[in-house]
Amino acid sequence: MKILFEQLDYLDPKLKGMLLWLEGLFQVEFNNTSNFRPDDEGVHGYGRGWDIQCNYEEFGILIRDTINSAYEYDPHRPNMQCAIFGDEHHLNHVHLQVHQNTRLR
């Protein structure tokens, strides 16, 4: 089943743009493992978080590094990133997130 994320009104436009760019760049349709969670107080609860399945470490690192080299999460918080993969909470998926200040580098 494909989720047409372009049509999801709750999804932040910056996140939609990132997902479109990512799928176009890699020429694949990624599997979504989590997006909007109404009771979540983090980015998933505000339509600014999206998880894509990734069971291959090398590919997950490539996706993470590609996004983080192209996007800046928030210039006021340089320690934050738009893509996270490989820590104890993100072993089989790449977590994508945007902020109101997210921008292309």
Question: For 59-89, how does the pLDDT look when each residue is reduced to its tens digit (9 = 90+)?
Answer: 999 999 999 999 999 999 999 999 999 777 6
Query: Given pLDDT bands bounded at 50, 70 and 90, which one contains residue 48?
Result: very high
**Residue 21 and residue 63 in contact, taking contact as beta carbons nearer than 8 Å:** no
Please state the rounded mean pLDDT for residues 4-26: 91
DSSP secondary structure code for residue 69 in this structure: H
Residue 96, strand partner residues: 50, 83
Structural domain harbouring 45: 5-104
Please state the rounded mean pLDDT for residues 48-54: 92
> What is the CATH number for 28?
3.30.1380.10
Counted domains in the chain: 1
How far is it, in rounded angstroms, from Cα 91 to Cα 80? 18
